[in-house]
């Protein structure tokens, strides 16, 4: 579950809004691509997207 972001600048927050990710979104990692560290993730059990390593590094999540 997404609990916070390291980057709180408008460009990053606008990006998260555009892809439908906000505080409380459930995130499940489906695949990690070794060549660049990008990830295929599932949002709230329904929407699959690919995010860059830079985006992933700026997300703070809890597991449980």
The Cα–Cα gap between 7 and 40 comes to: 20
Q: What's the pTM value of the predicted model, to 2 decimals?
A: 0.89
Task: Give the pLDDT of the chain (64 residues) as one tens digit per residue.
Answer: 999 999 999 999 999 999 999 999 999 999 999 999 999 999 999 999 999 999 999 999 998 7
**What is the radius of gyration, based on Cα positions, of the chain?**
11
Instruction: Compute φ and ψ for 22, nearest 5 degrees.
Output: -145, 175
The Cα–Cα gap between 54 and 64 comes to: 24
The Cα–Cα gap between 55 and 14 comes to: 12
């Amino acid at each position: 579950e997404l609990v916070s972001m390291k980057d709180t600048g408008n460009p990053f927050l606008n990006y998260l809004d555009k892809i439908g990710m906000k505080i409380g979104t459930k995130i499940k990692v489906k695949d990690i691509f070794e060549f660049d560290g990008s990830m295929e993730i599932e949002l709230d059990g329904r929407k699959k997207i690919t995010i860059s390593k830079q985006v992933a590094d700026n997300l703070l999540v809890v597991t449980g």
